[in-house]
Chain A
Amino acid sequence: MNNDVKLMKGNEAIAHAAIRCGCDGYFGYPITPQSEIMETLMVEEPWKTTGMVVLQAESEVASINMLYGGAGCGKKVMTSSSSPGVSLMQEGISYIAGAELPCVIVNVMRGGPGLGTIQPSQADYFQTVKGGGHGDYKLITLAPASVQEMADFVDIGFEIAFKYRNPVMILSDGVIGQMMEKVVLPPFKPRWSNEHILNINPWATTGKTVNRKQNIITSLELQSELMEQNNLRFQEKYRQVEEKEVRYETIRCEDADYLIVAFGSCARISEKAVEIAREHGIKAGLLRPITLFPYPSKVLQQLTKQLKGILVVEMNAGQMVEDVRLFTREVVPVEFFGRMGGIIPSPEEVFHALENKFVNK
């Protein structure tokens, strides 16, 4: 039996994974349903073991700007929040993207708009993949569907963030954050030494020595020609990300007539709905985008050729469905089923939606 197999909440798994993957700093502000992340870190006291800094900031605005500071030093820094708090962070996220800094941001989504509800939701899809803050930038977005993926995506998130010098969002929701599952925690990795940071992050503000030019962390460029060049460089980076970082899972798609597309907790529910549909003789399959940007558009387009219909299932009013319609160019009918306000759809509901929208039509 592996000693590192534990039963824990998704939020707790994020915290343990952060310590284990050599994260240098966590800066956050309490908000339901993700407060266990910082609470777990404060109980674990990693500053006594790995030297990781954990700080409760005065606001989400402060925490995201602490990430700007920490990431600029070439350190692995992360924050977490839930929807209203992530709205507050959007200015800082735009600056981080504009200054090309790597960091990991966790959003354990709850229902909105406004103060909304503390119950789960996926209504921040648009905010996450369409920009959120100002300017032309992209957040590389990982959508975990299990406690195991909550743990795994922290390290993967940092790897991708540093590879592209871009913020990475782990877009989770109140279901995945709060539910307890079996999880194999990742092995301990040491934090990066200062020498290592000097080698791999030559852009970081490690202190200007006589041997090099100043390192300046900024998103400012007042000369339009140069600012356009910056933007073109970012766009080229996002194109590279689209080419190389797409992640997805397909379940029973080989012979599927109908495809459910869902991410995060809705994908878990839809997986069960696929089983129910198969029991009823309906050939259903599931495409679970793991990265929401970059979107698995190619596999979606490939699968579309064999399909009679696509059902997009989300805990919102229909956000990702717009992208599915765009990427498939609606060569097959694309329907939507969603619940809002913190209501979690049941597998039976999803199955009935599939049945009613396509099979019994």
Chain B
Amino acid sequence: MATEINDIIKPENLVGKKSALLTDVPMHYCPGCSHGVAHKLVAEVIEELGIQAETIGVGPVGCAVFIYNYIDIDWHEAAHGRAPAVATAVKRLMPEKYVFTYQGDGDLAAIGTGETIHACNRGENITIIFINNGIYGMTGGQMAPTTLAGMKTSTCPAGRELKNFGHPLKMTELVAQLEGTCYVTRQSVHTPIAVKKARKAILKGFKNQKMEKGVSFIEIVSTCNSGWKMSPVEANRWMQENMFPFYPLGDLKDI
């Protein structure tokens, strides 16, 4: 059987291939999780730009904490929420490099809100990739600042009640207001078309660094089917029906 598959997998039959920058380490993500696709897009963009040796990534604390195992570049694993501060110093000290952070919503929109807003406001020439799945995935599905009203998590088991827990935070709208951001967009990776658009956005975010226009901020509205307690297909549907109305896709700012 194996030989038959190898007979088929020949260069002339390939319609696509894994980015050379993605390592062979099996990803630890749950099936259906958006992280795998988002990682692939980052790797592809770095490969396309030919900037492996010029790119420094800053990873988060959260599900993507092991991103350094999957994308073959130099990495800083930042403390929870501090990636924009780490990236600020890396970029200021090595302005010739491409520097990006990859952060979840707990990391970027709760504990790291201050670092995010100030890095954006200073107009650091970095790219911030923001994975928003409305929940803390790694710690087991607690409420995030981005959890939708009424959405159930392990720390709001009856659903997010706004009077007690406050409102879901629209970080992307918030940073779009700041003079230091040049490109602010909200994307998703739930369909092939969405993946293409998200890839284009990430590519643009990286290219912007050379123009020294400030922060490129790319939110990717994502699924966490394990945290949401749904099958991958259900999670994709739920995201479209519930997340997208509150977190509408598209560019918020492009200077």
Chain A residues with a Cβ under 8 A of chain B: 24-25, 27, 53, 55, 57-59, 61-63, 65-70, 72-73, 75, 77, 91-92, 95, 99, 205-210, 214-220
Contact = CB atoms under 8 A, between A and B. Distances in A.
B93 A24 contact: yes
A58 B86 contact: no
Given A205-B76, A207-B74, A65 B86 contact: yes
Closest 3 CB pairs of A and B: A69-B89, A218-B77, A69-B86
A55 B86 contact: no
Contacts of A206: 74, 94
Interface in B71-99: 72-79, 82, 85-90, 92-94, 97
B79 A91 contact: yes
Nearest to B65: A220
Contacts of A27: 89
Contacts of B56: 73, 205, 207
B93 A73 contact: yes
A25 B65 contact: no
A259 to B, nearest CB: 42
B52 interface: yes
Contact of B85 (A66, A73, A99, A205): A66
Given A58-B115, A207-B56, A216 B89 contact: no
Contacts of A210: 53
B45 interface: no
A66 B88 contact: yes
B58 interface: yes
A57 B115 CA distance: 9
Contact of B73 (A24, A59, A77, A214): A214
Contacts of B74: 205-208, 214-216
B93 A77 contact: yes
Nearest to B61: A220
Contacts of A218: 68, 75-77
A67 B92 CA distance: 12
Interface residues of B, number: 30
B54 A62 contact: no
Given A62-B118, A207-B56, A75 B73 contact: no
A66 B114 contact: no
A73 B73 CA distance: 13
A220 B64 CA distance: 13
A350 B224 CA distance: 65
A197 B169 CA distance: 42
Interface in B28-74: 52-56, 58, 65, 68, 72-74
Given A73-B56, A208-B72, 15 more contacts: A24-B93, A55-B88, A61-B82, A61-B115, A62-B82, A66-B88, A68-B82, A69-B86, A69-B87, A70-B92, A205-B75, A206-B94, A216-B68, A217-B75, A218-B68
B97 A62 contact: no
Contacts of A92: 79, 82
Nearest to B75: A216
Interface of B: 52-56, 58, 65, 68, 72-79, 82, 85-90, 92-94, 97, 114-115, 118
Contacts of B85: 57, 61-63, 65-66, 69
Contact of A75 (B52, B65, B93): B93
Contact of B114 (A61, A67, A69, A95): A61
Contacts of A53: 89, 92-93
A214 B68 contact: yes
Given A205-B74, A209-B53, A216-B68, A95 B90 contact: no
Given A73-B90, A214-B74, A220-B77, A207 B97 contact: yes
B52 A208 contact: yes
Contact of A72 (B53, B72, B76, B114): B76
Given A69-B89, A73-B93, A208 B114 contact: no
Contacts of A216: 68, 74-77
A77 B65 CA distance: 25
Given A207-B56, A214-B68, A69 B90 contact: yes
Contacts of A67: 89
Contacts of B68: 214, 216, 218
Contacts of A209: 52-53
A218 B74 CA distance: 11
A239 to B, nearest CB: 27
B127 to A, nearest CB: 15
Nearest to A211: B53
Most buried by A among B58, B68, B77, B114: B77
A25 B79 contact: no
B12 to A, nearest CB: 27
Nearest to B115: A62
A263 B87 CA distance: 37
Given A27-B89, A53-B93, A65 B78 contact: yes
Contacts of A68: 76, 78-79, 82, 86, 89
A65 B82 contact: yes
Nearest to B111: A61
A66 B76 CA distance: 11
A19 to B, nearest CB: 15
Contacts of A217: 75-77
A55 B185 CA distance: 28
A121 to B, nearest CB: 28
Nearest to B94: A73
A165 B144 CA distance: 36
B92 A95 contact: no
